[in-house]
Amino acid sequence: DAKTTQPTSMDCAEGRAANLPCNHSTISGNEYVYWYRQIHSQGPQYIIHGLKNNETNEMASLIITEDRKSSTLILPHATLRDTAVYYCIVRGGLGDYKLSFGAGTTVTVRA
Amino acid sequence: GAVVSQHPSWVICKSGTSVKIECRSLDFQATTMFWYRQFPKQSLMLMATSNEGSKATYEQGVEKDKFLINHASLTLSTLTVTSAHPEDSSFYICSAITQDTQYFGPGTRLTVL
C-alpha cells in the first residue's frame, strides 16, 4: 500500500472549517484513500473514503486532486468534539482490506 | 449502522493468567475481522486477521500461540491473551468489515499486574 504523509499537528478555531492535508504521491490506480479519527482512549471512527471523485457525507468532505497524489479532508464547522488524531490511509482495491496506520495528524480545536 | 462492540472495556489481571476479549458486530455480519494493539502514544498496529470458519492470519512478530483468535460465527471474534505478562498491557481494538469499510470497536484496555 502507498505511504501517506500528514502534518504532525494542527490547531483550528471552533466554528471554522478545518482543512487536513494528506500526501500520497505513490498511490496506485485501484487504491482508495480512507480517513479515520481517534479520540483519546477510543477506537478509530470511520469518517469518509474515496477513489477518484470528491466525496461528502454528514461528517466531512474529501477532496482528491486530479492526479490523486494528495487529498484534503475538510471538517466544515469544527467543534471541540472534533479534537482527535486524524489518520489518512491508502488502502488496496476491492478485497484488500488491511489498513496501515501512521502517526496521523493531531488536531486541536480551540474555543 | 455498522456498530462494533467489545467486551470487556477494561480488564486487570495477574501475570500468568489468560484473558479473553470479545468483539461483536451488532448490526451486520462480518466474514473478516481484525485485531489491533496500541501502546501509549503510539499508533495502531495490526496483530491478526480473523476469518470466520478458518484459522487467523497473524502479522509478522505476533505470537500465534500467545494471542489465540477464534472467529466461530459471523458476528463474533474472540482474542485470548494467554499467560499474560506486564508487557502485554495495552489497548486492544478490533474491527469488522461491512460495505467494503472497516468499522472499529471501542477498544479494551488490558492491564497485567
Contact B28, B42 (CB under 8 A): no
- Compute φ and ψ for B88, nearest 5 degrees: -85, -5
A93 and chain B: CB distance < 8 Å anywhere? no
- Whether A2 has a pLDDT exceeding 70, the answer reads no
| Per-residue confidence band for A96, with pLDDT thresholds at 50, 70 and 90 | confident
Q: What is the rounded CA–CA span in Å between residue A58 and residue B106?
A: 21
Residue A62's pLDDT is what?
98
User: Per the CB < 8 Å rule, is A43 touching B49?
Assistant: no
A17 and chain B: CB distance < 8 Å anywhere? no
Q: What is the rounded CA–CA span in Å between residue A106 and residue B83?
A: 35
The tens digit of pLDDT for each residue in B14-63 reads 999 999 999 999 999 999 999 999 999 999 999 999 999 889 999 999 99
Mean per-residue pLDDT over chain A, rounded: 95
B46: nearest CB among A42, A98, A103 = A98
